[in-house]
């Protein structure tokens, strides 16, 4: 029996056809891979960005009203967020000792009849200064074997609730930001006990409401700050905490730092009808695609 073999032309034709089919299959698989990668990135970035904006808004909610500033570490300048005239890349604010308030270590209210400005003593019902100091020391891993009220400060509500301090001439010397005076933050003396809070300096006025502050906070991208060698990764959003401007500390030299999120290509903050508005943008490069996946989330904090 005579067997017919493939001719050279037929073999070349088959090879060419197989090559065309393989190229088409490769292109289809590549497009499928890109689509799957984009869908995965959209889901992950959407979830991550939502978690981050919720974290930031939660922290900002527990702030001293009117204490929020924008800061530029290159020029060492800052302004209240309520009266910004320049662009700033660092967001800072004074945080409240909220955990201690929830534990009822202090009430936040003053008995004006029993308080005495001359002796620098305010009487705060349902307050235990010792528990307050110990709770904050535990919060920031500070030794708790001594009664250390230096960790916390006291800020009377007063004008901070109506925001008028923002537009006064002494805002720079209000909270102690970046080497300035802290005329409105009162240190608490170790002679304090029970509901009697003894201040280190005499207040000009005593208000019926006060805030206990235990730390300042700062948020910035590593691209936008130069003063921290341990927080300079590109497209990384950092949180700085456990520093006290009213004691002469700042986030550049004294704060602890942690990563809030990576892949953050933008973080902007502004005002919207008198409320704090911020926008977080996250971006991820997709291998094999000319277009990146970008997700933006906004939040308003009242």
Q: For residue 266, name the pLDDT band (cuts at 50, 70, 90).
A: very high
Q: What is the DSSP string of the chain?
A: -PPPPPPHHHHHHHHHHHHHHHHHHHHHHHHHHHHHHHHHHHHHHHHHHHHHHHHHHHHHHSB-TT--EEEETTTTEEEEGGG--S--SEEEEEEE-HHHHHTTS--SB--TTT-BTTTTEEE-TT--HHHHHHHHHHHTT---SS--GGG-EEEE-THHHHTGGGGSTTGGGTS-GGG---TT-EEB-TT-BTTEEEBSS--S---SBEEEEEEEEEEEEGGG--S-TTS--TTEEEEEEEE-GGGT--TTTT-EEEEEEESEEEEEEEEETTEEEEEEEEEE--TT-SS-EEEEEEEEE-
Angle made by CA atoms 180, 183, 184, in degrees to the nearest 5:
120
Mean pLDDT computed over 140-168: 74
Q: What percent of the chain has pLDDT over 90?
A: 57
pLDDT given for residue 144 in this prediction:
63
Query: Is there a domain that residue 4 lies in?
Result: no
pLDDT given for residue 54 in this prediction:
93
Query: Is there a domain that residue 34 lies in?
Result: no
Query: Is there a domain that residue 6 lies in?
Result: no
**Dihedrals phi, psi of 191, to nearest 5 degrees:** -80, -5
Query: Is there a domain that residue 211 lies in?
Result: yes
Rounded Cα distance, 299 and 279, in Å: 7
Q: What is the DSSP string of 11-79?
A: HHHHHHHHHHHHHHHHHHHHHHHHHHHHHHHHHHHHHHHHHHHHHHHHHHHSB-TT--EEEETTTTEEE
pLDDT given for residue 32 in this prediction:
62
pLDDT tens digits, 89-109: 899 999 999 999 999 999 999
Query: Is there a domain that residue 39 lies in?
Result: no
| Count of domains observed in the chain | 1
Average pLDDT value over all residues in the chain: 87
Mean pLDDT computed over 269-279: 84
Neighbours of 43 (CB within 10 A): 12
Query: Is there a domain that residue 17 lies in?
Result: no
Among 42-46, 71-75, 143-147, 277-281, which stretch is predicted with the lowest mean pLDDT? 143-147
State pTM to two decimals: 0.86
Query: Is there a domain that residue 8 lies in?
Result: no
Q: Which domain holds residue 293?
A: 49-301
Q: For residue 57, name the pLDDT band (cuts at 50, 70, 90).
A: very high
pLDDT tens digits, 224-246: 999 999 999 999 999 999 999 99
pLDDT given for residue 115 in this prediction:
94
Query: Is there a domain that residue 187 lies in?
Result: yes
Mean pLDDT computed over 210-221: 96
């Amino acid at each position: 029996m005579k067997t017919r073999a493939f001719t050279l032309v037929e073999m070349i034709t088959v090879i060419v056809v197989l090559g065309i089919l393989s190229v088409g299959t490769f292109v289809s698989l590549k497009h499928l891979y890109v689509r799957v990668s984009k869908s995965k990135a959209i889901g992950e970035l959407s979830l991550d960005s939502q978690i981050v904006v919720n974290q930031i808004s939660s922290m900002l909610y527990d702030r001293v009203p009117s204490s929020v500033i924008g800061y530029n570490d290159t020029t060492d300048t800052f302004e209240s967020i309520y009266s910004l005239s320049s662009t700033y890349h660092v967001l800072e604010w004074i945080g409240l000792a909220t955990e201690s308030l929830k534990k009822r270590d202090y009430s936040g209210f003053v008995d004006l009849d029993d308080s005495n400005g001359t002796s620098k003593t305010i009487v705060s019902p349902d307050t235990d200064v010792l528990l307050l100091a110990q709770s904050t020391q535990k919060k920031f891993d500070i030794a708790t074997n001594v009664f250390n009220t230096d960790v916390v400060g006291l800020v009377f509500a007063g004008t901070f609730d109506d925001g008028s301090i923002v537009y006064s001439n002494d805002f720079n010397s209000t909270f102690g930001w970046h080497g300035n005076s802290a005329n409105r933050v009162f240190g608490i003396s170790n002679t304090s006990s029970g509901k009697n809070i003894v201040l280190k300096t005499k207040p000009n006025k005593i208000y019926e409401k006060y805030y206990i502050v235990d730390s300042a906070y700062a948020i910035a991208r590593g691209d936008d700050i130069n003063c921290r060698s341990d927080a300079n990764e590109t497209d990384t959003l950092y949180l700085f905490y456990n520093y006290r401007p009213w004691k002469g500390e700042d986030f550049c030299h004294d704060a602890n730092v942690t990563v809030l999120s990576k892949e953050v290509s933008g973080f902007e903050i502004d005002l919207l009808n008198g409320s704090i508005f911020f926008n977080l943008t996250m971006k991820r490069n997709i291998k094999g695609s000319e277009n990146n996946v970008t997700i933006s989330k906004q939040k308003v904090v009242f």
